[in-house]
Structure formats: C-alpha cells, structure tokens
Chain A
Amino acid sequence: MTKTKKVSLTGLRFWCGLAAFLVVALLLLFRYLLRRWPLWSDVVSWLVGGGSFVLLVEYFLGLIRRERDRLKELSLEKREREVNFEQVFNLSPVVLMIVNSGGQITRVNRRVQDWLGYQPEELEGLDVAEIPFLSEKGKMKARILDQRVKGKRVEARELNFLTKGGAVKIGDLRVVPLPQVNDRRDDLLIISDVTASEEVDRAKTEFVAITSHQLLTPLTTIRWYAESLLKQEQHQDEERLREYLIQIYKTNQRMIGLVNTMLRVSRVEKEEIRFNLIEVSVQELIDSVLDELSILIQNKDIELVQKIEPVKGLRVDPEYFRIIVSNLLTNAVKYTPSRGRILIEVSPVEKKVIRGDTGVQEFTLTVEDNGCGIPPEQQKNVFTKLFRADNAREVDPEGTGLGLYIVKAIINSVGGQISFESEYNRGSRFTVRMPVDWTTSKFS
C-alpha cells in the first residue's frame, strides 16, 4: 500500500486556501462597510478569492482522488489474490472440487481435464450425486452430508474413477470442510491419482507370486524324489538311487540359481551394489564364461567364432561384468539349435576428440547367434522383468525372465547402453557399449 501524500503538505495548502478565503471575505466586508475601495483592491481580492476557492476545490478533489486510488489498490490486491488462487487451484497436481452446502459442485480445477478427460465446465453446477466419473455417487453425497452433520472426516482410498474415454484410474479421495463464510460452508473434495503406485504395488505382488511359484515347482520335485527314496521298494537298484539323487542335486542347484538371481534383482533395484574395480583382461573373462558353457556348446555342436580385440585399461567389477557376458552367451547358446553359429566380438570404440575434450573411452561387446530369434511384437518387452518370449519358453521352460533385466540395469548403471537386432527364426545380435573404466559409475 503506497503511502498517501504527507498530511502536513496537504494541510498547509488547505490552511493557505482557507486563510486566503478569509482575507477576501474580510476585504469584501470592509469594502461593503467603507464603500470606498480603489480598483486594484478589487482585482486583488477577486484574485485571492478565486485562488483560494481553487485551492479548496483542489483539496477536495485530492481527497476524492486518494480515496479512489485506495479503492483501486484494494481492488488490485483482491484481483491479485484471486489470480493467485486461480493459479494454485488450477495448477494443483490433484483434482480439486468445491461443493456447496446444497451438495452442488461450484468449482472444479483444470486437473480434472488432464486426469479424467472432463472439462471443469461440464461438472460445475452438477449435484455431487451426478458426478459421471465416480461409481459411488450416491454414497458420496451421503458421506458429505454425514460428515457435515457429525463433523466426521471423509476419506476413501483407492476408489475407481472412470475417465471420459472409459478407462479406469485409481485415486484417493478426501473431503475437507472449508471455513464458514457468512452462512456458507463449502467442502473441498481432493482426489489424488494413485494409479501409478497402485500399479507398482501390483507389479511387486505379481513378482512375488511368480517367483514363489517358480520355487514351488522344484521344491515339490525334490520332495517327491526324496519321498520315493525313503520308501523301501523303490531303491531296489543302485542305478535308480543314484539317478534320483542326481535329480535332487540338480534341482537344488537350479533353485539356488533362481534365488541368487532374485537377490541380484533386489540389490540392483535397491541400488545396494558396490563395485570392486580391478583391471581385467576381456579375453580371460570371456574364456572363463565359455568354459562353463563348453559342454553345452560341444553337445550342440555349435560353431564359435571369436573376434576379440584387447581393451586397454579395462577396469571393471569382474563379477558384474561376468553377469553381463554370461547372460548374453548363455542366451545365445540356449536359443541356438544344434550346429548353429555364435559370434563374439569385442572392440574399443574409436574415440572422437572434440575440441580437446577426450570424453569417455568406451568399448563394444557383441554376441550374435543364428538361433530362434525374438518375435517382432515381443521385442519391446525383452528387457522387462520376468519377460519370456513364447518361443524362448518352448526352448527353455526354466528360464526366469530376469537375466536381461539385470544385465540392462548393470549396463545402465555404468553409463552404457545395450541394444539388439533380431529376426524370428533367423537369429539375434545383442550389442553392449560401455565405458572401459567403470570408476565413474554410480555404484563405484
């Protein structure tokens, strides 16, 4: 609020004006009494009189102007507050609805348009019981009235909301009474979108269900084999006894593998990994992975071609690097039929020096096979958790669908990328591009 002009100045002008007016009045009085005034006194008196009159008028005008300015300021402030309210109301990340004491919706914010597809204008004026996107409309009105009467808080979690297009979103609803103004008491309905967190919850629950089921199967198998071994009649022959024990052992190993994979997923997601960085030779690492797979590769008579260039200064966490290489190679071997061909390529990336900025030295690792490939419509899901392509499932029913998910997470965490090309029944080619030195990654 700007300060008004100093009162003293105004007062002075007023008093001058008043004084001049009085002088003129006196002079005129004298004139009247003496009936003998020179002409110049007339002029002076009229000038002074006129001047003082003007001053008085100006003073009163000033008062009026000041009052008008004050009112203008007040009105501007009110406008500013209104605009702020509009902004806050409409920019709110939650849906806000104001309902009057009669149960009628008086205001709805813009968020309802983003979230549910309805224009605020479509909803304003409706009775709360007529809300098109709420399935429990009648109850809503009853709740609000009830809350008013008893002063109870109205809160509903995870309600279903229908968008204008017919989709379902999930939100939490709260009714907050607004302060009473005159004899009006409105309520504010706050609806917040929890669809995303609901989906995350659901995904987690599903994950637990699927992995529990995955564990239950081998556990049942082991149990049955053990039961049968414990019954006298069954292990009449040594051969069968040995076979059953081997089966128990193998199944057990499978479960340990599954649990380890799940723990890895958990650690990757919670970002609990800490890398132990050492300098390694890429050829040695790949050799050791190939060692593990050698029997399988031999049995399937797969042709293995290696084009591995040395990568200078390779400084990584061998355990996690191994996970990447092992996953890609195991997949290639698993999904390639007998007499197939697998190509492994490693090469440093040509460094482009831009204006003296050497950037990060990177290298690429490529694994290519001529196996069953990935069906085109399923390719976008390849790196998602628990995903298994239908043809992959046929080839290897035991896969977890977690391998590539973990691989991608590790690669991303070191600032690398993974991509692939694949043709159904022709083969796949996975390419990983990573920094040579993982020191700057977020897990180091």
Chain B
Amino acid sequence: MVEERKKVLIVEDEAPVRRIISDMIAPLGCEIIEAKDGESGLQKGLDNHPDVIILDIVMPGKGGLEMAEELRKDEWGRQVPVVILTNLKTARQSVEELGGEIIFIPKADWEIEDVVKVVKEILEVKDYLGEDQLGSGILAQKVRERLGFE
C-alpha cells in the first residue's frame, strides 16, 4: 500500500527562511507547500489540509496570530498541529491561547536541526495517535515529552 506523502505548509514572509526550512525538511520526504503571508497561508491550508503548519508571526498584512485564530475556527483547522516559529518571544502567551496542537519555538534560541526534529516528531506522533484524538493538545504534549522541552 502506498502511503500518502505527508504535507507540510510553511507560512513565512522572509524568502531565505522559507528556503532553509524547506531544504531542511526535504529529506523527510514530505510535500512542501509555501505561503508568504497570512492570507495565502490560510487559503493554502484550507485547500490542501497539510499535516502540519509551520507559521511565522510577524508578517505584513494578516499576521500569524490572526491567521491561526481564523484557522482554529474551521473544523479541520481546529485539530491541525501548528508550529509557531518566531522571534517574538512575547507572543508566547497569545500563541498558547490559540489552543489545539500548538508548539511555540523562539527562532533565535533553537537550532534549525531541532526545528526539523519537531516536525518529524509531530508527523510520527500524529500517525500513531489517530485523527480523532487531535485537537486537545495531547499531540503537542507528547511531542514535547519525547523531545524533552517545555
């Protein structure tokens, strides 16, 4: 049986950052979808239903938080794991209030390698948890436990 390729959506306005995340995740064998602002990010998310969304906060026009809020209003959007990748450490609380499967990563403190590990872990845990369990935060918690961070 051919396993469907996993999809990863990267929503980030800075091209170099999009580039390197994309390059680093490529070895995981996923299909990578890119968006450069909140507007198109939301659209591509709802159109493609990726398995995980990597989201930046500071973007022109619709920012990451606004996009995530709207995303969470959608049936599917409520359970999709979102990795928030940002330098805005002060946004942590607002991010966690979004609920669902959320992982907050302050870019400046993390190595790109570890970011990739998080994505990989999310895809694995998602597999064995099953879709119906998603949305409660249990996936995010498991990922944090397995990788050993807050």
A220 within 8 A of B: yes
Instruction: State the 8 A-B residue pairs at the shortest beta-carbon distance, nearest first.
Output: A393-B60, A224-B112, A216-B87, A220-B107, A221-B16, A220-B108, A394-B60, A247-B16
CB distance B87 to A390 under 8 Å? no
Q: A228-B112, A231-B113 are in contact. Are A220 and B87 (CB under 8 A)?
A: yes
Interface assignment of B61: CB less than 8 Å from any CB of chain A: yes
- Per-position binary interface string of chain B over residues 9-53, scored 1 when its CB falls under 8 Å from any chain A CB and 0 otherwise: 000011011011001100100000000010000000000000000
Tell me whether A219 and B108 are in contact in the complex, defined as CB-CB below 8 angstroms, given that A228-B23, A390-B60 are known contacts.
yes
Given known pairs A216-B87, A220-B87, the reply for A225 and B16 (CB within 8 Å) is: yes
Whether A216 lies near B108 (C-beta < 8 A) is yes
Known: A224-B112, A397-B59. 8 other contacts (CB 8 A): A216-B107, A216-B108, A217-B17, A220-B17, A220-B107, A228-B24, A250-B16, A390-B61
Q: Does A238 contact B (CB under 8 A)?
A: no
Residues of chain B lying within 8 A (CB to CB) of residue A240? 23
Range of interface residues on A (Cβ < 8 Å): 20 to 34
A185 to chain B, nearest CB (A): 49
Residues in chain B within 8 A of chain A (CB atoms): 13-14, 16-17, 19-20, 23-24, 27, 37, 58-61, 87-88, 107-108, 111-113
Contacts of A394 in B (CB 8 A): 37, 60-61
Interface string of A219-235 (1 = CB under 8 A from B): 11101110110010110
Instruction: Please classify the interface of chain A as helix (H, G, I), strand (E, B), loop, or mixed, using the class held by over half of its residues.
Output: helix
Q: Are B20 and A228 in contact (CB under 8 A)?
A: yes
Q: How far is the CA of A234 from the CA of B88 in the complex (A)?
A: 28
Q: Counting CB contacts under 8 A, is A213 at the interface?
A: yes
Contacts of A216 in B (CB 8 A): 87, 107-108
- Residues from chain A with a CB closer than 8 A to the CB of B111 are 224, 227
Does A163 sit within 8 A of B, measured CB to CB? no
Bound form: Cα–Cα A253–B55 in Å = 26
List B contacts of A233 (CB < 8 A).
27
